[in-house]
Amino acid sequence: MKLGIYCAGGLGRESFELANRLNDRVPLWDEIFFVSDIDLGGGGNIDSSTISSRRSES
């Protein structure tokens, strides 16, 4: 299953961190990523924080 987090602002980044910590304990998602409605121009940065995704290693 995939988890998409809409918005990469403060709440989105906190949600991403919490989801990753939870997923380390109880694997629920194969991939956790941000969903954005703005064009990042291929840079992948919002508020100087790198937008990333995390895939499980299984």
* Segment 18-32, tens digit of pLDDT: 999 999 999 999 999
Question: Which of 29, 35, 34, 33 lies closest to 1 in space, CA to CA?
Answer: 29
Q: What is the value of pTM for the model shown? A: 0.65
Q: What integer pLDDT is reported at residue 24 of this predicted model?
A: 94
Q: What integer pLDDT is reported at residue 56 of this predicted model?
A: 59
* Cβ neighbours for 4, distance < 8 A, ≥ 6 positions apart: 33, 34, 35
Alpha-carbon distance of 4 to 33, in angstroms, equals 5
Indicate the domain borders of the chain. Answer: 2-55
Q: What integer pLDDT is reported at residue 53 of this predicted model?
A: 59
